[in-house]
Amino acid sequence: MSQTANVSSTASLIADPARMSILTALLDGRALPAGELAYAAGITAQTASSHLGKLLDGGLLALETAGRHRYYRLAGGHVSHAIEALAVIQPTGPVRRKAPTAQASALRNARCCYDHLAGRLGVALTNALRERRYIIDAPEQRFAVTAAGTTWFAGIGLDVPAIKATRRGLARPCLDWTERSHHLAGPLGVRLLCTMCGHGWLRRVPGSRAVQATPKGQAALKSQLGITDADWRCD
Amino acid sequence: MSQTANVSSTASLIADPARMSILTALLDGRALPAGELAYAAGITAQTASSHLGKLLDGGLLALETAGRHRYYRLAGGHVSHAIEALAVIQPTGPVRRKAPTAQASALRNARCCYDHLAGRLGVALTNALRERRYIIDAPEQRFAVTAAGTTWFAGIGLDVPAIKATRRGLARPCLDWTERSHHLAGPLGVRLLCTMCGHGWLRRVPGSRAVQATPKGQAALKSQLGITDADWRCD
DNA sequence: GCGATGCTTCGATGCCGCTCGAAACGTCAG
DNA sequence: CTGACGTTTCGAGCGGCATCGAAGCATCGC
């Protein structure tokens, strides 16, 4: 994809401190002449001219000629948008420790890890599946589904043979950040979360990675796999 | 002040093509081991290790250690957001044309941008909502929902007054990196995608950001908003 | 015309950082 | 313990780019 080459070349334009000073001076939308931008960036006119030409070619600036002055301005709102998006990314500094909020513990209890279930519930669910030998450890960082497991998954409406495995297999363990244990990932994990949400057992919280278990879901977890609230809820 | 230095240092991390290849390989949210990223970027393991360390320090990547493997992933959605914002900026010059693969055009047609709809369909949907004045432009980079809009959303089972706005509002435009136009983001955008998936109109492709419209969904788009396949499908 | 001003181009210099070979470190299998 | 493997660290080579001096263009005032 030539898109990646394009992104990095654009980023390299912003990467130079002198050019960034020029862009900063123009962030408010004004159009400034080359000489003033050179002064703002603390460089000579020749150097600034080189930078301005590159920014122009890169599509970051627009040019407006007036007499012997040449006024430069940002090419559009998308440029300032990109700069602001970059400003959000901060180097990893000192680790800040904060008391876990209610939201944080909800995330720790049950959350999405991309498209599969993670957190204490994800780990508890995976352990229950392993204890019942519905899934077993397999080589190359994978889980295999046993015959009993296929039957059990079918019982909740999940057709295992119909799932096509990716390059990394049908199911695999995924390390859980908070629990330092594994939960079920891979296509099977994705479908399992989907199915449980479809039954109304679990509910994804909009705009968050948190997952809630409904009363119906709590009952199902207990009857199907013997998982009680105490096994994973910790507020 | 130090903000500008921070932006340019972040940009310099993205500026290197090898590092950009690494970031591209991680854009879908997966976590990949260092060796695989080295192979993806076409560099040796030593060089990749250096790059990964810098990206980690720069706050672009997160690390997950599993045995002798070290899995790297994007530090968060803000990183992919910044990359997409950069991708919007195009050099003013010869337009290069590439042969799109089937997967690429699927992504271009319809995909998730985090939790809301993007791509040609996302833009077409947003434009239709604006044309019908269900949503209107509002100050501070936002969309406002009109009374007619609230009624329409309720008609598809989406209770707008029940959605709580975040700090950035209820709905806002998000720049689409392939279409260079805006699509609907914010809590309303998230709920809208959710609702349309719930009706079986759209279907998220597992393990990908691609979104498919079902036949039922195509009919609904036509009857509800007058959007035909030709408006957004382009293979 | 003539000089002054604003800006760009050319050429040379110096430095940053990307790159890979070699080697050390940590983990896993036997 | 030993060998294999994945990853990181160290060191040296080297290409690319920012920088500035000097010169070349264009415009303005007189």
**Nearest residue in B to A27, CA atom:** B4
Q: Is pLDDT above 70 for A69? A: yes
User: Out of A2, A191, A207, whose CB is closest to B98?
Assistant: A2
- CB < 7 Å to strand C — which of 86-125 in chain A? none
Question: Using CB atoms within 10 A of its CB, is residue A156 exposed (0-12), middle (13-18) or buried (19+)?
Answer: middle
Mean pLDDT, all residues of chain B:
81
**B6 sits in which H/E element:** helix B2-15
Q: Which nucleotides of D are covered by protein (CB under 7 A)?
A: 5-11, 17-23, 26-28
- The closest of A48, A79, A45, A46 to A62, measured between CA atoms, is A79
User: Out of A7, A15, A175, whose CB is closest to B87?
Assistant: A7
CB pair distance less than 8 Å for B15 and A11:
yes
Q: Is pLDDT above 70 for B168? A: no
Min mean pLDDT across A31-40, A54-63, A94-103 is at A94-103
Please give the C-alpha separations between residue A113 and each of A116, A118, A124, B160, B181, in angstroms, as whole numbers. 5, 6, 15, 28, 30
Residues of A whose CB is below 8 A from B59: 89-92
- The closest of B128, B127, B122 to B210, measured between CA atoms, is B122
- Spell out the domains of chain A, with CATH numbers in brackets: 10-88 (1.10.10.10), 102-231 (no CATH)
Q: Is pLDDT above 70 for A174? A: no
Confidence category of residue A96, pLDDT binned at 50, 70, 90: very low
Say which residues have a Cβ less than 8 Å from residue A157's Cβ, sequence separation at least 6. A195, A198, A199
Sign of CA dihedral A175, A180, A182, A185: negative
- The closest of A100, A2, A207, A114 to B71, measured between CA atoms, is A114
Asked whether B29 and B23 are in contact (CB, 8 A), the reply is no
Query: Looking at residue B99, what is its pLDDT?
Result: 38
- Is pLDDT larger for residue B206 or for residue B26? B26
Residues of B whose CB is below 8 A from A191: 206
- The closest of B207, B160, B214, B210 to B29, measured between CA atoms, is B207
The pLDDT of A134-159, averaged and rounded, is 84
- CB < 7 Å to strand C — which of 47-76 in chain A? 48-50, 52-53, 68-70
CB pair distance less than 8 Å for A1 and B24:
yes
Query: Looking at residue B61, what is its pLDDT?
Result: 92
In chain B the beta strands, taken as DSSP E runs, fall at: 32-33, 61-66, 69-74, 111-113, 116-118, 135-138, 142-145, 172-175, 182-185, 202-204, 211-213
Q: Is pLDDT above 60 for A16? A: yes
From the Cβ of B51, is strand D under 7 Å away? no
Asked whether B221 and B213 are in contact (CB, 8 A), the reply is yes
User: Out of B11, B16, B190, whose CB is closest to A207?
Assistant: B190
Asked whether A56 and B26 are in contact (CB, 8 A), the reply is no
- Quote ipTM for the complex: 0.53
Which of A12, A20, A72, A89 best probes binding to B when mutated, by most B CB atoms within 10 angstroms?
A: A89
From the Cβ of B65, is strand C under 7 Å away? no
- Is pLDDT larger for residue B164 or for residue B26? B26
For residues A161 and A43, what is the distance between their CA atoms, to the nearest angstrom? 66
Q: Tokens for A66?
A: 């007036």
Kindly report, residue by residue over B54-102, the tens digit of the pLDDT: 999 899 998 888 777 888 989 888 898 899 889 888 777 533 333 345 5
- Is pLDDT larger for residue B15 or for residue B117? B15
Query: Looking at residue B28, what is its pLDDT?
Result: 75
Distance of CA A99 to the CA centre of its chain: 24
Min mean pLDDT across A40-54, A60-74, A140-154, B169-183 is at B169-183
Sign of CA dihedral A47, A53, A57, A63: positive
Residue position matching structure tokens 């998000």: B174
The pLDDT of A81-93, averaged and rounded, is 82
Q: Tokens for A198?
A: 């479809």
Residues of A whose CB is below 8 A from B19: 8
The pLDDT of A127-138, averaged and rounded, is 86
CB pair distance less than 8 Å for A8 and B20:
yes
The pLDDT of B145-170, averaged and rounded, is 85
User: Out of A21, A78, A89, whose CB is closest to B60?
Assistant: A89
Min mean pLDDT across A84-93, A128-137, B57-66, B128-137 is at A84-93
The pLDDT of B166-182, averaged and rounded, is 62
Query: Looking at residue A180, what is its pLDDT?
Result: 43
Min mean pLDDT across A128-137, A223-232, B66-75, B86-95 is at B86-95
For residues A120 and B61, what is the distance between their CA atoms, to the nearest angstrom? 24
**Angstroms from A194 CA to nearest CA on chain B:** 10
Query: Looking at residue B186, what is its pLDDT?
Result: 78
Q: Is pLDDT above 50 for A84? A: yes
Cα angle B78, B80, B81 (rounded to 5 degrees) comes to 60
Considering all nucleic acid strands, name the nucleotide whose C1' atom is nearest to the C-alpha of residue B56.
Answer: D8
Confidence category of residue A11, pLDDT binned at 50, 70, 90: very high
The pLDDT of B28-53, averaged and rounded, is 87
The amino acid at residue B167 is R
